[in-house]
Amino acid sequence: MTRTLLTEIVIPVRNEARVLAASVHRLHDYLVRNFPYPFVITIAESGSTDATPEIGAALARELPEVRLVRIEARGRGLALRQVWSTSEADVVSYMDADLSIDLDGFLPLIAPLASGHSDLSIGTRHARDSSVHRSLLRAVLSRTYNFLLRVLLGVSFSDAQCGFKAGRREIVQVLLPAVQDDKWFFDTELLCVAQRHGLRIHEVPIDCLDDPNSSVDIGRTVLEMLRGMVKVSRRRASGALNVALPEHLRRAKLPTGLAHQFLRFAVVGAATGVVHVGLFLAFRTLMPALAANALSLFLAVVLNTAMNRRITFGVRGRGGALRQQLEGGAAFLLSLVFTSGSLLAVGSGISRVAELAVLLVGDALATLFRFTLLRHWVFSPSRVRRENEELPR
């Protein structure tokens, strides 16, 4: 007998007495009529001071597919963590209590998980096919927040905070130990951990009508989001976001973060390459080409190592800074060999333009070797983490 996929829908609530009964009845009726899989609706109540717990208990008694879980501490992330970590469903999901997102998007959210095509699935308000009615302030904040995530954390998903997400339960439970936040940043951090491990995140365009009476404190939530981005950036650089995926959940992929790291490395390399060329032209009027190249390259590599330390590999603090600059000297020697060898190969008497072309070719040949050296030796996450732990508190 084939086991039928069970889906759990969590509604995290705090002081939602105004809308809870109507929303749960609406969701339950919709799923009974339109959803092809068995389901359970879990009301995850945390820290309410109104009648939310009593309403939730009454709904659980009335509807067999509804249950109430009470969490004493406050926090949307905490509620989701507690329910998802103990769930026995095949797919776990959540949506906001106001049901501001059109429920016709729920089956498209679940389908790629049921088929095994994707690992996580999220609704997005920023797709071309989405229809969203919300205040200008909320729209601007959402766009800005997701833009910062793409720039600072290199994420590829378009809407981290849409309250309409789902995941294969075995995937979610593996990722949860690497997620620290228990409030509004919880699902963003979960997505960052998933992307770091090359898991497939499916995006579903949704129709959304924001609740104008939402109790969310926008100012406080924005500050929590910004703090969350800083923390995740630091933890990613130290390797703290890594989890051990079971063999059957792994996918063939590039090393973690490779594409985004190499892009940032290339930008830094282009900037310091301009510095190298400018200094070479200045020193060339005073000394031979080989000496001008050696001096200008040395200064450019010191700058390059410092910039890559912060921008490419996200290393903060004083730990290992001197060691990293000294080992970056190996990168200097590598570049010196390539560029000086290129100059020697073409001989003297060539034009300044030809000398610059030779330097650029030599730099290009050294780039891949230098990136590998910095990634796996100079800024190895395990070495960086150990050096920061050894700093006096």
- Which pLDDT does position 84 carry in this prediction? 97
User: Angle between the 218-238 and 136-148 helix axes, to the nearest 10 degrees?
Assistant: 10
274-310 pLDDT per residue, tens: 888 889 889 988 888 888 888 888 888 888 888 878 7
| pLDDT exceeds 80 at position 257 | no
Domain 7-249 in CATH: superfamily? Answer: Spore Coat Polysaccharide Biosynthesis Protein SpsA; Chain A (3.90.550.10)
Q: State how far Cα 138 lies from the chain centre.
A: 21
- Which pLDDT does position 393 carry in this prediction? 46
Q: Where in the chain is the domain with CATH 3.90.550.10?
A: 7-249
One-letter identity of residue 145: Y
Residue numbers annotated as active site: 187
The three-class DSSP label of residue 282 is helix
208-252 pLDDT per residue, tens: 876 555 555 566 767 777 788 888 888 877 777 888 887 766 654
| pLDDT exceeds 60 at position 66 | yes
The secondary structure element, H or E, covering residue 208 is: strand 207-209
DSSP conformation letters of 214-229: ----HHHHHHHHHHHH
The span from the CA of 99 to the CA of 381, in Å, is 42
Q: Are 120 and 167 in contact (CB under 8 A)?
A: yes
102-156 pLDDT per residue, tens: 999 999 999 999 988 899 999 998 887 888 777 777 777 778 888 888 877 778 8
